[in-house]
């Protein structure tokens, strides 16, 4: 069973000089608890019904469950999204006190993520946690921690389509909690398997996805800026117009990945495998590509301004129309003859250790991560 942290978030104490307002707040708290206590069992029942009924009857269950889910979502949002003040309902503002999370509802939702729960029940629990976590940054952090703990548990690592669907739902629940609850949350989901999933528009800036398996996944328009993808497997991924600025992808595998229009500005890509990758119009400004494998990569119209390509394997790579202003390259590995390389505008040719030291000394303030 996945339990929420013991240091819960207590409901704000009512003002002592306003007994009526305190009574109203207690009444609202009871209503919130009542709604959650009804919503969770109903959602769990729908999830069980989806598993038990025949495939022909599942559309009927979906049709019946969708309005209920929408109703509970609206009620939870209505009662959690505002506070009473002077007997009137007002919308929350930056200066207004945010209501605390209902730990009872969070606990009931977390039980659906337990080992014995099926994939449908898990998805119902994830939906409830995603709603409950929108109350405040503290609530978002609590619910996200519960989901992360479930994802990293052994019971969520099984194979099969249902398990993959549950993992995808969990990742997007964390994404929603970051976007709408706590933008500063950094998810730690190292080693997770998300192979072949549609993860387009995913929002996980600063997440730790080291050694994650994302083979064949679609990460188009995803925000992974500042994320750690060290030694992650993104081979054959589709990553169109994604944001990976300042990300760390040291020794990651992006072979044959489609990275058209994606931004890697300031990213660390030491030893990365980009062989046969499609990087047309990609933003690789100030990237550290030392010892990277770019063999047969398509870098046409890419921006490699101020990039460091020392020791990179560039055999068969295409650079037609790309910008290499201020880039540091190794003439022995660059797929051009010396006289052709010299004609490239402002390309810095590194020859020998002393020249490399001079280049680094001049640009320490511009290298990614500094």
Pairwise CA distance, residues 184 & 204, whole Å: 10
State yes or no: pLDDT of 201 exceeds 90: yes
- Specify the CATH superfamily of domain 187-370: E3 ubiquitin-protein ligase SopA (2.160.20.80)
Pairwise CA distance, residues 199 & 162, whole Å: 16
Of 195-204, 238-247, 311-320, 337-346, which gets the smallest average pLDDT? 337-346
Residues 16-28 have a mean pLDDT of 58
Residues 102-118 have a mean pLDDT of 74
SS (H, E, C) the chain: CCCCCCCCCCCCCCCCCCHHHHHHHHHHHHHHHHHHHHHHHHHHHHHHHHHHCCCCCHHHHHHHHHHHHHHHHHHHHHHHCEEEECCEEEECCCCCCCCCCCHHHHHHHHHCCCCCCCHHHHHHHHHHHHHHHHHCHHHHHHHHHHHHHHHCCHHHCCCCHHHHHHHHHHHHHHHHHHHHCCCCCCCECCCCECCCCECCCCECCCCECCCCECCCCECCCCECCCCECCCCECCCCECCCCECCCCECCCCECCCCECCCCECCCCECCCCECCCCECCCCECCCCECCCCECCCCECCCCECCCCECCCCECCCCECCCCECCCCEECCCCCCCCHHHHHCCCCCEECCCHHHHHHHHHHHHHHCCCC
Per domain, the residue ranges of the chain are: 1-185, 187-370
Question: Do 154 and 111 meet the contact criterion of CB atoms below 8 Å apart?
Answer: no
Split at pLDDT 50, 70, 90, the class of 23 is: low
Split at pLDDT 50, 70, 90, the class of 243 is: very high
Name the most confidently modeled range: 11-25, 29-43, 242-256.
242-256
Of 69-73, 196-200, 254-258, 353-357, which gets the smallest average pLDDT? 353-357
Of 31-40, 110-119, 171-180, 347-356, which gets the smallest average pLDDT? 347-356
State yes or no: pLDDT of 65 exceeds 90: no
State yes or no: pLDDT of 72 exceeds 50: yes
Task: Please give the residue that has the higher pLDDT: either 4 or 274.
Answer: 274
Split at pLDDT 50, 70, 90, the class of 242 is: very high
**Could you tell me the CA-to-CA distances from 312 to 76, 122, 321, 324 in Å, in that order?**
54, 45, 20, 14
Strands 328-329 and 348-349: parallel
29: Cβ contacts below 8 Å, ≥ 6 apart: 11, 102
CA 139 to chain centre: 18
State yes or no: pLDDT of 209 exceeds 70: yes
Pairwise CA distance, residues 204 & 321, whole Å: 32
pTM for this structure? 0.66
Pairwise CA distance, residues 275 & 254, whole Å: 7
């Amino acid at each position: 069973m996945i339990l929420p942290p013991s240091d819960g978030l207590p409901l704000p104490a009512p003002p002592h000089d306003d007994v009526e307002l305190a009574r109203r707040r207690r009444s609202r708290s009871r209503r919130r608890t009542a709604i959650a206590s009804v919503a969770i069992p109903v959602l769990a029942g729908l999830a069980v019904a989806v598993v038990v009924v025949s495939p022909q009857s599942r559309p009927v269950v979906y049709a019946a469950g969708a309005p209920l889910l929408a109703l509970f979502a609206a009620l939870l949002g209505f009662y959690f999204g505002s506070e009473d003040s002077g007997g009137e309902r007002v919308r929350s503002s930056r200066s207004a006190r945010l209501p605390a999370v209902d730990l009872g509802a969070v606990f009931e939702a977390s039980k659906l993520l337990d080992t014995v729960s099926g994939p449908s029940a898990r998805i119902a629990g994830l939906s409830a946690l995603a709603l409950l976590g929108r109350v405040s940054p503290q609530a978002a952090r609590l619910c996200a921690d519960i989901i992360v703990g479930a994802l990293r548990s052994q019971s969520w690592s099984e194979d099969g389509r249902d398990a993959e669907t549950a993992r995808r739902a969990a990742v997007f629940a964390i994404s929603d909690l970051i976007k709408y609850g706590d933008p500063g949350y950094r998810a730690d989901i190292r080693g997770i398997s998300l192979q072949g999933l549609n993860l387009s528009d995913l929002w996980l800036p600063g997440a730790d996805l080291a050694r994650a398996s994302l083979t064949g996944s679609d990460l188009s328009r995803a925000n992974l800026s500042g994320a750690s993808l060290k030694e992650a497997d993104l081979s054959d991924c589709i990553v169109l117009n994604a944001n990976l600025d300042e990300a760390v992808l040291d020794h990651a595998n992006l072979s044959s990945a489609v990275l058209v229009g994606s931004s890697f500005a300031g990213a660390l890509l030491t030893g990365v495998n980009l062989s046969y990758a499609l990087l047309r119009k990609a933003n690789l400004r100030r990237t550290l590509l030392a010892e990277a494998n770019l063999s047969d990569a398509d870098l046409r119209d890419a921006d490699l301004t101020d990039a460091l390509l020392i020791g990179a394997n560039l055999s068969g790579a295409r650079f037609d129309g790309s910008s290499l202003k201020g880039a540091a390259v190794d003439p022995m590995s660059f797929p051009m003859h010396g006289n052709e390389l010299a004609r490239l505008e402002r390309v810095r040719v590194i020859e020998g250790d002393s020249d490399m030291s001079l280049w680094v000394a001049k640009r320490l303030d511009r290298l990614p991560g500094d």
